[in-house]
Structure 1
Amino acid sequence: MNDLLNKNTHKNTWLVPVACLLAGGALTGISTNLAKYAVNIGLTPLAFLFWSITGAAIILLIVALIKQEIPPISARSIEYYVVAAFVSVAAANLLLFSAIPHVGAGFVALIICLPPLLTYLGALMLRMERFYLIRALGVVAALLGAGVLAIHKLSAPESSVFWILVALCGPVLLAIGNIYRTLRWPDNASSSALAPGMLVAAALLLGLFSALSDFSVAIPLDAWLPLGLIAVQAWVFAGQFFLLFLLQKTGGPVLLSLLGAVGAVVGVPIAIFLQGERPPEGLFLGASLIAVGVILVTWGGVKMATIITKEE
């Protein structure tokens, strides 16, 4: 009887991270397409990102107040907010959003699935993860899928190598953020408390960048569409980062890094069918490999957790 209860409990513990992975990934794919549409209606990447992050921070702060989980304020937590905000939010998203008008929302949605290999290697080097063949094969499959798409993009005659390289820097920062947030997670802090703290820090960093540069965060106030789009993106960011922290806590850094792979599955069709982008060359092979990677890493995580439970 106890064995049956333990098995059911174990299965239920994986429902939460997998649900967070699917929902958070979908929001990631939607976010990249909203960023392209924002440029089309005259919003700069910095202004769109700054006001959307600010709105998301306010939303999550209200949620934290309702749940009575105020972001902790200490030297450790402030360091966590600032570093995580810079790596995972401000720098990574600014690079990706700036590259979208030049390389397309579909391509950016696809390359966000690159962090798994970097995250997995980092987690292995830091002994945060055990080597498990199924998960390793899943990460390699997802990386190969992204590689197929990136090679086709680079070989296109109208491609901009500079902006492709700028876009590729985004996944590197996201992978670093995955590792950092796991290693430096403040003691006894909940995801509901940490997410708004990170977004507040990200908004401050973006505002500081605007003040110290020629890039403005000004937006047109005489039209409802830009303001409406920022409001939608704020809610998307709020859901995306809330689920990111929840997945970070329940699923670990490698499963977390697959948010981009799920985002690609959602974001690419939106870019093609709703924004009129041409399907990326090698889409079928690349997307198939990415899907296989998600399945293997998720399944491998369940199997590995089962082995660890038996050992204990």
Structure 2
Amino acid sequence: MTKFTERNSSPCRSVWLVPLMCLLVGGALLGISTNVAKYAGEIGLSPLAFLFWSIAGAATILLVIALLRHELPPLNKRSFEYYFISALVSVAGSNLLFFSAIPHVGAGFVALIISLPPLLTYLGALALGMERFQTVRALGVAAALAGAGVLAARKFSAPDASVFWILIALCGPVLLAIGNLYRTLRWPEGASPNALAPGMLIAAVVLLGATSLLPDFSLTVPLGGFLPLGLITLQAFIFAGQFQLLFLLQKTGGPVLLSLLGSVGAIVGVPVAVFLQGESPPDGLILGASLIALGVALVTWGGMKMMTLSKQKLEVPDKT
């Protein structure tokens, strides 16, 4: 092995290892959060109140981390636009739809449909010139979408299906896909993931607070015991880790790999809903989950190959 190869083998591995770890851990947190949201509804927390206070806690945690790292969120016109649009499509709007639908369609189903954004994100990235077509990644996206499609079709065909809430839940992945593309295209120049994550969450708190001014919306939390506040605190830490990893994955892996967070979340969230929450396993679970897992593997592998080749092209050995 040459000195050049030895020197660069580790950096090449790190090119794909960091985004892969962000994908797996961030996706796991996403799957867990849907189940925590279901339990919150069962103890009397409204979707808006639970989401507002959890996001407020997560924003505080990430802002403290940013202060300690001396990476404060940038404050200018461009960054404010970025925070509020990202917050609307990626946090406030999508999560409010998901959390509102969970009592009607189940945490398992919501965890599964969060795996739908890859196709929309991939097609959008191709159309906007953000991604080059690659057969392996295209097959991976198609497999993940097919798996989620199998599960969604079975849900629609169930005799007790609530079509309205199923459609509401399905709007969430559309917002997530838009957010994946927007955050990459409009990433403020020179800003770090540690700085942007708290800025987006603070904007989400403002948007959710404004929503509470509408009729029949409230931020009231039941104070009859420790459980509601404990659950909000738990979700705040889950959100803090999830959104910190989301921005890091966005920067290192790109929008298509980022969109697979939902697929990983489905693999984690559905078993939790079935075994810990007592939900019935979704029809077609084995086939759907297998296709989703295959899709994650193919897109990740394709991304690893692309990033490694790009790294090698940039690091040409000195022949002198």
Report TM bin, short chain: over 0.9
CA contact (8 A) 1:132 1:304 kept: no
Q: In structure 1, what is the equivalent of residue 301 of structure 2?
A: 299
CA distance in 2, matches of 1:172, 1:213: 26
Structure 1 match to 2:138: 136
What displacement does 1:15 show?
1.0
Shift of the alpha carbon at 1:18? 0.5
Whole-Å separation in 2 of the counterparts to 1:235 and 1:169? 26
Give 1:304 deviation, angstroms: 1.7
What are the residue-to-residue correspondences of 1:23-42 with 2, within 5 Å?
Answer: 23-42=25-44
For 2:238 and 2:31, the matched residues in 1 are separated by 10
Gaps of 5+ in 1: none
Partners of 1:254 and 1:214 in 2: CA distance: 37
**Matched ranges for 1:195-274 at <5 A:** 195-274=197-276
Say if 1:99 and 1:164, in contact at 8 Å, map to a contact too.
yes
Equivalence for 1:126: 128
Letter in 1 for 2:296: V
User: Alignment partner for residue 49 of structure 1, among 51, 60, 74?
Assistant: 51
Q: Please report the RMSD computed on the Cα atoms of aligned residues, expressed in angstroms.
A: 0.9
Q: C-alpha displacement at 1:305, in angstroms?
A: 2.1
Letter in 1 for 2:249: L
Shift of 1:306: 3.1
Which residue number corresponds to residue 317 of structure 2?
Answer: none
Q: Is the 8 A contact 2:16 2:307 kept in 1?
A: no
Distance 1:223 1:305 in 2: 50
Contact 2:121 2:181 in 1 (8 A): yes
Counterparts of 1:134-173 in structure 2 under 5 Å? 134-173=136-175
Q: Distance in 1 between matches of 2:255 and 2:97?
A: 22
Letter in 1 for 2:130: M
Distance 1:311 1:52 in 2: 44
Counterpart residue number, 1:290: 292
Q: Size of the alignment, in residue pairs?
A: 312
Q: What TM-score, normalized to structure 2?
A: 0.96
Task: Map Cα deviations across residues 100-147 of structure 1 (whole Å, 9 max, x no partner).
Answer: 000000000000000000000000000000000000000000000000
Shift of 1:310: 4.8
1:80 to 74, 79, 82: 82
User: SS where residue 211 of structure 1 aligns?
Assistant: coil
CA contact (8 A) 2:15 2:307 kept: no
Query: What is the alpha-carbon distance in structure 2 between the residues aligned to residue 5 and residue 301 of structure 1?
Result: 22
How far off is 1:155 after superposition?
A: 0.2
Cα distance in 2 between the residues matched to 1:187 and 1:308: 22
C-alpha contact (below 8 Å) 1:56/1:237 kept by paired residues: yes
Residues of 2 paired with 1:191 and 1:154: CA distance?
38
> 1:179 is matched with which residue?
181
Scaled by the length of structure 1, the TM-score of the pair is 0.98
Q: Residue 114 of structure 1 aligns with which residue?
A: 116
